[in-house]
A = this chain, B = another copy of it.
Amino acid sequence: MQIKQILAEAAVGSEITVKGWVRTKRESKNVTFININDGSVIHNIQAVAEAGVLNEETQKLITTGACVAITGTLIESQGSGQKVELQVKSALVYGTADPEKYPLQPKKHSLEFLREIGHLRPRTNTFSAILRVRHTLAYAIHKYFNDNGFFYLHTPIITGSDAEGAGEMFRVTTLDPKNPPLNEDGSVNYKEDFFGRETNLTVSGQLEGELGAMALSKIYTFGPTFRAENSNTARHLAEFWMIEPEVAFYELEDNMALAEDFTKYVIRYALENCYDDLVFLEGRLKEEEKNKKQEERSELALIEKLKFVIDNEYVKLTYTEAIQILLSSKRHKEGKFQYPVAWGIDLQSEHERYLVEKHFKKPVILTNYPKDIKAFYMKLDEVSDDVPGQTVRAMDVLFPGIGEIIGGSQREDNYEKLAQRCQEVGIPIESIWWYLETRQFGTAPHAGFGIGFERLVMFVTGMTNIRDVIPFPRTPKTAEF
């Protein structure tokens, strides 16, 4: 029986065996307290061994990090903490953990240090809580889409096309790394590579996702995506997971409604199913922020922040309106933005944060961006006298603290316009003939978006470095474990 079950349902007086890892041991003359955790829940169970119950050898081997099976009677707890504890009858040590060598002794460890021992950090309260929340969010995502008639589509990881141009790509190859076969003109002969062409790791499943939506109406992807960008920041990973719903017959407004309903659902699901983990993580964050200046601390405690997102309607406005707000702001007038504000700019993090955290104090959905700062496949807006330039039916969802969490759009469903946009941005039409054909055969309005899973996990757990919300982060010069 796992500790989660024991704490929830085991009857006082019953004999049980707990299997897990020792977090702490405290000995006094008459009694030994052993706190055990098995990862099923944030809480430990305390085993209490009267003097003489365990033989000396066993007693000695039970140290922090050791793996044990302890059998005893579940009794009402004498002390504070849990309602129940285990009165020890016998103990078995599966595996010891030499206190001289085991790095996770019961004291505070920095997140930086824990990253170096990624193979052991899931055994800490912080990382086991993060991983449970991560699991719960992933499950909520599948449940949301399944319950709403979406089909999970596995789009390819190895791709022969670089159509989206979302970023630098990793090459996937089996050619001799030192002496690749060459063509007569001296270029690498990819015809001899495994797939008979140059292939890369996907940056997005969207284009293939659209193929699915043009047949099944509602699909979503949930898989790894990659960026070979040399960004050593707290917000970027070379390998991360992304969710991309795509829906036939959806226009921009439906897409916004989906993004709002979806994010609220999964955050609510985490609150309902990981409450104890979130309480722990809220305490951790408070502790971490004690070292920060008052103005850099979160305005809301973690759980308050999550409830705030669930309970409030997201603000929806156009890019053009957002630029006007920024231009009218005191901060702009006093020249306090680092990057200049003008219609046509790609909004910087400082601009997004001003809108979300200062001006609206709510999640914001920005729409109808200038076409020149967005991808080729986004549907062109009607030209309007009220807008300084050509825009597209794009939307970005901005969250407090982490900025852009979702990017999406209604897609250009008109073949001629899409082919024209390909030409403008330099994508050879023959390289994505299959994508363009969906606009020639039974085209339909459709829309979708992408949400970075790790950004979502950061938001819900309150962690501020993306390397701490994925089990084994991949970043420039790091691929350990």
A residues contacting the other copy or chain, number (CB 8 A) = 107
In the bound complex, CA of A102 to CA of B98 (Å): 69
Residues in chain B near residue A339, CB distance under 8 A:
none
Residues in chain B near residue A445, CB distance under 8 A:
94
In the bound complex, CA of A479 to CA of B216 (Å): 22
Contact B174 A173 (CB under 8 A): no
Q: Does A85 belong to the interface (CB within 8 Å)?
A: no
Q: Does A155 belong to the interface (CB within 8 Å)?
A: yes
Q: Does A138 belong to the interface (CB within 8 Å)?
A: yes
Residue of B nearest to A94 (CB): B444
- Known A-B contacts A19-B248, A201-B172; the reply to A442 vs B211 at CB < 8 A is no
Contact A441 B95 (CB under 8 A): yes
* A interface with B by C-beta (< 8 Å): 2, 4-5, 19-22, 38-40, 65-67, 69, 94-98, 101-102, 118-120, 122-123, 127-128, 131-132, 134-135, 138-139, 142, 146, 149, 151-160, 168, 170-175, 177-178, 180, 182, 186-188, 194-197, 199, 201, 208, 211-212, 214-218, 223-224, 226, 228, 230, 238-239, 241, 248-249, 413, 434-435, 437-445, 470-472, 474, 476-481
Contact A479 B197 (CB under 8 A): yes
In the bound complex, CA of A147 to CA of B476 (Å): 37
Partner of A178, one of B146, B180, B444, B477: B180
In the bound complex, CA of A385 to CA of B434 (Å): 62
In the bound complex, CA of A201 to CA of B170 (Å): 11
In the bound complex, CA of A441 to CA of B188 (Å): 48
In the bound complex, CA of A256 to CA of B467 (Å): 35
Q: A2-B217, A157-B201, A160-B479 are in contact. List 16 more A-B contacts (CB 8 A).
A: A20-B217, A38-B248, A39-B217, A39-B218, A65-B441, A67-B444, A94-B443, A95-B444, A119-B435, A135-B151, A138-B142, A157-B239, A170-B174, A196-B476, A208-B471, A211-B471
